[in-house]
Structure 1
């Protein structure tokens, strides 16, 4: 399996898959209110007409409420991958 390169330090690559473009955009909007981000890129997702949306978040430029959550949360140290993740 090919692995994508990791994003640079302090950034996170986000992939949103939704049944409609509007649902994907709504989730992306919430994330953009919490973090600085790149322009979103959207692609068709599957034969059923879904949407896959990609964006990069800058976790170093977090806004509330993400900033307070990040300062109080701790990593579990466990990496979990869903069976259908690419």
Structure 2
């Protein structure tokens, strides 16, 4: 999980006005950008490299889950697991 001191918070209006800079900030991989709307975090912009690493990690974790869960995992998709955890 990203440490708060490595995050940059930008309002939606500021992110729109300086979109190229915001993309450059996130794409260098040093800082993630959290975009807020009315002061509430609504989206995050991360580097493509970090995104692909996260997808690979989730895929590996899903495969391990299937191996461990056995038959009770039949028909379970990765998206189902992610959606269940986001409801917490």
TM-score, shorter chain, exceeding 0.5: no
Greater Cα radius of gyration, structure 1 or 2: 2
Task: Give 1 or 2: higher strand fraction.
Answer: 1
Q: Could you say which structure has the greater relative contact order, defined with CA pairs below 8 angstroms and 6 or more residues apart?
A: 1
Normalised to the residue count of structure 2, the TM-score between the two structures is 0.27
